[in-house]
């Protein structure tokens, strides 16, 4: 048996080096999964490694056939290290396979989170768009619109349970389905772009502790309602990944993600307060499978953060839900654009729905209207616009 020890050790160690190279490549690729060149290189390395596995498996197994004695092997010490190398080899194979599968999955478009892709079963309305004072008023306005699916603001349930505590029972009686939840953060000031940059989301240190407590309570409420998705604005993400605020954002997002992951829920970040490229980089760095995107094309225009159509294509793998909202861009840098009724703004709706089709998005289309005095009518108009493209 001693004659096979040297080639076994040499080839197994060589295989370990090859697999570890694949692991390193895939770790890098997991941070920049949009690179087709990196994916091709990783695929070639995996194929080479697969060939080496086939060639070495029988030789490696021979090192485990007999007890480590001189009666069975001329050099038991060498065979022992062969066994160690084989174990490392198998571990490396497992790690490489895991990362390769993760990267491939990340490149695939998200599957629908709805039970059906029928247009009427994809439309929903943001509850806060209707400014209801109580659940009964919300039900009445949803009935007036003719849409019985809703994304529910969860903060009222947490803040005033005496008013909103029986909403699940009321919705069940009215035949209304909650498709997802939404929460806001403490102290947010949307009066100007500068004010929301300073106060928005989970960025401010002064409100982080209270926000974290509220988010935990909100997750409990969402779980009780049987929700699978909750969305929120995380706040402005620094463009520079070396900025101290970037690491802080990643740390806080990871904490939020864990709260929802424990309850088997996804959390989606609203688009708009950063470019699609910066948001994709953040999600790549975060590497939390239950964190995705709530895509709002109007927010991209309101904040001046780029073309919504190109953003859909870039963020496609992460899109969990889509908001239907329209806007015009500002003419004065540093100020807001204007939200307008769907179909009257600068969102190119034919191109937008074509882009959603390109990424195979078949999830919910949730109408949001946060301005104007005729919101029920505006939401009805938005419904008709959507049905022209998905009906």
Tell me the mean pLDDT in the region 91-117. Answer: 56
pLDDT at 80: 72
Q: Kindly state the average pLDDT of the residues 151-174.
A: 96
| pLDDT on residue 100 | 61
Q: Which pTM was predicted?
A: 0.71
2 compared with 138, residue with greater pLDDT? 138
Q: Which pLDDT tens digit goes with each residue over 207-252? A: 999 999 999 999 999 999 999 999 999 999 888 889 999 999 999 9
φ and ψ of 232, to 5 deg? -165, 165
Residue 183: predicted pLDDT: 97
Question: Mean pLDDT throughout 82-97?
Answer: 68
Weakest-pLDDT range from 27-31, 210-214, 273-277, 376-380: 27-31
Q: Tell which residue, 259, 107, 266, 254, has the closest CA to residue 181.
A: 266
Distance CA 44, CA 52 (A): 13
Distance CA 52, CA 20 (A): 13
Among 95-104, 291-300, 382-391, the minimum mean pLDDT is found in: 95-104
Residue 33 scores a pLDDT above 50: no
Mean pLDDT computed over every residue of the chain: 84
Provide the pLDDT for residue 13.
58
pLDDT-based confidence at 335, cuts 50/70/90?
Answer: confident
pLDDT digits (tens, 9 = 90+) for 286-325: 999 999 999 999 999 999 999 999 999 999 999 999 999 9
pLDDT at 124: 97
Please check the confidence at residue 197 and state whether its pLDDT lies above 80: yes
What are the tokens at 313? 């294509």
Write the CA distances from 353 to 113, 305, 312, integer angstroms.
Answer: 17, 19, 10
How do residues 355-382 score in pLDDT, each as one tens digit?
999 999 999 999 999 999 999 999 999 9
CA distances from 196 to 207, 247, 335 (A): 14, 20, 12
Top-confidence residue, 227 or 391: 227
pLDDT-based confidence at residue 390 (cuts at 50, 70, 90): confident
* pLDDT for the residue 4: 52
Alpha helices in the chain (DSSP H): 2-31, 36-62, 76-107, 135-145, 155-159, 161-164, 167-174, 193-199, 205-224, 244-262, 276-286, 297-302, 308-315, 349-358, 375-390
DSSP state of 186: T
Closest by CA to 364, choosing from 165, 116, 159, is 116
Q: How far is residue 323's CA from residue 260's CA, in Å, rounded to a whole number? A: 21
Q: Does the pLDDT of residue 65 top 60, yes or no?
A: yes
């Amino acid at each position: 048996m001693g004659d096979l020890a040297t080639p076994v050790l040499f080839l197994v160690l060589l295989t370990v080096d090859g697999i570890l190279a694949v692991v390193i490549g895939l770790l890098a690729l997991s941070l920049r999964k949009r690179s087709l060149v990196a994916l091709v290189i990783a695929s070639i390395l995996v194929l080479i490694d697969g060939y080496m596995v086939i060639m070495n498996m029988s030789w490696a197994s021979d090192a485990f056939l007999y007890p480590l004695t001189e009666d069975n092997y001329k050099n038991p010490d060498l065979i022992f290290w062969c066994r160690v190398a084989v174990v490392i080899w198998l571990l490396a194979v497992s790690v490489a396979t895991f990362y390769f599968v993760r990267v491939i999955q990340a490149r695939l478009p998200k599957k629908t989170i709805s039970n059906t892709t029928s247009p009427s079963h994809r439309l929903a309305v943001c509850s806060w768009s209707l400014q209801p004072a109580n659940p009964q008023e919300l039900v009445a306005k949803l009935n007036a619109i003719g849409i019985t699916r809703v994304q529910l603001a969860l903060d009222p349930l947490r803040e005033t349970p005496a008013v909103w505590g029986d909403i699940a029972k009321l919705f069940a009686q009215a035949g209304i389905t909650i498709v997802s939840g939404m929460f806001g953060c403490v102290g947010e000031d949307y009066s100007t772009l500068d004010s929301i940059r300073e106060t928005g989301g989970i960025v401010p240190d002064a409100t982080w502790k209270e926000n974290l407590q509220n988010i935990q309570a909100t997750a409990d409420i969402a779980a009780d309602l049987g929700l699978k998705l909750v969305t929120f604005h995380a706040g402005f993400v620094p463009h520079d990944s070396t900025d101290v605020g970037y690491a802080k954002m990643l740390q806080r997002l990871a904490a939020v993600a864990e709260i929802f992951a424990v309850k088997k829920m996804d959390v989606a970040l609203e688009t708009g307060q950063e470019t699609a490229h910066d948001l994709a980089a953040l999600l790549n760095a975060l590497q939390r499978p239950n964190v995705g995107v709530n895509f709002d094309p109007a927010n991209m225009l309101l904040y001046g953060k780029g073309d919504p159509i190109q953003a859909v294509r870039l963020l496609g793998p992460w899109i969990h839900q889509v908001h239907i909202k329209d806007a015009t861009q500002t003419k004065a840098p540093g100020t807001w654009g204007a939200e307008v009724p769907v179909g009257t703004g600068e969102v190119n709706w034919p191109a937008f729905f074509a882009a959603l089709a390109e990424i195979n998005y078949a999830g919910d289309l949730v109408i949001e209207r946060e301005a104007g005095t005729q919101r029920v009518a505006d939401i009805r108009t938005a419904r008709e616009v959507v049905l022209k493209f998905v009906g």
